[in-house]
Structure 1
Amino acid sequence: MKRHKKLLLNLVFAAVILAAAAALLLVRRAGQTGAPLCAELIYGDANTKLIFPLETDADYDVDTGYLTVHIRIQNGAARFVDSPCPDHVCESFGWLSEEDQTATCLPARAVLTILPTT
């Protein structure tokens, strides 16, 4: 009898955890716009903005006033590549392909963010 109560309690606990995870997934998906995504680069002291569509593979070289950053768009994702900065941390962010993902190159004063196309 004790064993059955413990098993039932474990099953109820697992069901609650799974329901909570499903609810969080639904809330996250509801917050996404479903619009096509683009990469936005904000750089320099004037916070200049450039928009790159993710539908077309391309490489971009952007002079930020401090360094020239190299952005690659490929297969619906964007990233910093071949960074001229001393530590290359921006390259380690990898491929960004989901809304609100961000990579930053501090020496170049550049921020790359994935956003819905407006």
Structure 2
Amino acid sequence: MKDKKGMKANLIFAAVLLAVAAVLFLFLRGRAAGAVAVLTYGDAGQRMEIPLDRDQRYDLDTGYYTIHLEVKGGKIAFVDSPCPDHVCEGYGWLGKDGDWAACLPAKATVTVLEGD
């Protein structure tokens, strides 16, 4: 009888431990410490580093269009695009090292770089 209770307790403990690990994995996935997005825009190839650790909205005139970027939950995305095709919005939320998106009519690109 004791063996069944002990085994049941061990299984419950293991299940709880796996659930906690899964939640932590989902929460921390794609959030590199110090990750930044590098925005390059305009004819001169101006650059701007955008930290991904603080939720914020960025509205920037590229000389062609005013682009709108939003940082939320350690990721960045083009939002509310004024360009005719809205392809840049289709890239979705970028948060992993090497993710990138482009708004060609605005001559703007965003690339996520993992921090130190």
The TM-score normalised by the length of structure 1 is: 0.69
Aligned ranges for residues 100-111 of structure 1 at < 5 Å? 100-111=98-109
Cα deviation code 1:25-53 (max 9, x no counterpart): xxxxxxxxx65210110000000001110
> For 2:76, what is the secondary structure of its paired residue?
strand
Rounded Cα–Cα distance in structure 1 between residues aligned with 2:51 and 2:74:
8
For 1:60 and 1:71, how far apart are their aligned partners in 2? 5
Q: 1:65 aligns with which of 63, 66, 77?
A: 63
The number of residue pairs the alignment matches comes to 85
Corresponding residue SS for 2:54: coil
Aligned with 1:47 (options 45, 48, 57): 45
In the TM superposition, what is the alpha-carbon distance from 1:77 to its structure 2 partner?
0.1
Distance 1:57 1:35 in 2: 15
Structure 2: 5+ residue runs without aligned partners? 1-31
Task: List structure 1 segments (4+ residues) > 4 angstroms apart after TM superposition.
Answer: none
In 2, Cα distance between equivalents of 1:63 and 1:45? 12
The answer on whether the counterparts of 2:97 and 2:113 sit within 8 Å (CA) in structure 1 is yes
Residues 1:91 and 2:58 are matched in the alignment: no
Corresponding residue SS for 1:91: helix
